[in-house]
Copies of this chain bind each other. A is one copy, B any other.
Amino acid sequence: MNITDVSGLRVLAFDVFGTVVDWHGSIAREVDALALGVDAAEFARAWRAGYKPAMARVMSGELGWTRIDDLHRMILDDVLADFGVTSLGEEERGELNRVWHRLEPWPDSVEGLRRLKARYLVCTLSNGNIGLLANMAKNAGLPWDCILSAEVFRAYKPDPATYLGVADVFDVPPGAVMLVAAHQDDLAAARGCGLETAYVERPAEFGEDRPKDVSPDPANSMHAKDFVDLARQLGC
């Protein structure tokens, strides 16, 4: 790990799905409650797995600009078919699709954000659309100073327009922004744009039964167990 000079840091931008909220657990619980006769944990993983290919179709130009809410819905229809579920009507599919607005935070997220917010401007930098992120924040009590999204920049991460867009919006140099994420590829792309980076361990992102590698990458400015640990390391 580098010893990082954070004296110039002004903005902490957070990846959201998996980093701030537990998409796997939240979706698995709702799917389980619907008693569809599917493996809810596998269903959650399949839904999430459709996300990057769907965004790639937008970024390649095959699809026009599309909000994640609409991509989630397209993927959901495919996943329901793949799992042989035919019992859900239009309204129930719409309601299930909005589970992404109701994702629950990790236990440390709200406390960590509150502490970090006392010293830094804390914002989202998510591929989720603005409405999704605002509803999620209201539901989960996430105290963002500002919600930034792919929808503002009309580009998804890891497009440089998103990382550099945060610095531009707040009129600061890229090095005054730190991306906080549980995904090394997101952090690597941010680093390539000159941002500081903090990796946060979320070993159960894909479920307790599928622990993921949370090894430190010394290229990151910081490595934290969770948001409260990050706050402590930043002296908040």
Contacts and interface: CB of A to CB of B under 8 A. Distances in A.
A131 B145 CA distance: 10
A127 to B, nearest CB: 15
Contacts of A134: 121, 123, 145-146, 169-170
A13 to B, nearest CB: 12
Chain A, interface residues (CB within 8 Å), range:
20 to 34
| Total copies of this chain within the assembly | 2
Nearest to A120: B138
A137 B133 CA distance: 18
A131 B69 contact: no
A138 to B, nearest CB: 5
A181 interface: no
Contacts of A151: 152, 169
B131 A169 contact: yes
Contacts of A152: 130, 151-152
A171 interface: yes
Contact of A137 (B69, B129, B145): B145
Most B-side CB within 10 Å, residue of A129, A131, A135: A131
Nearest to A133: B146
A214 interface: no
13 contacts: A69-B171, A121-B134, A121-B138, A123-B134, A129-B169, A130-B152, A131-B169, A131-B170, A134-B169, A134-B170, A135-B170, A137-B146, A146-B147
Interface of A: 69, 121, 123, 129-131, 133-135, 137-138, 145-148, 151-152, 169-171
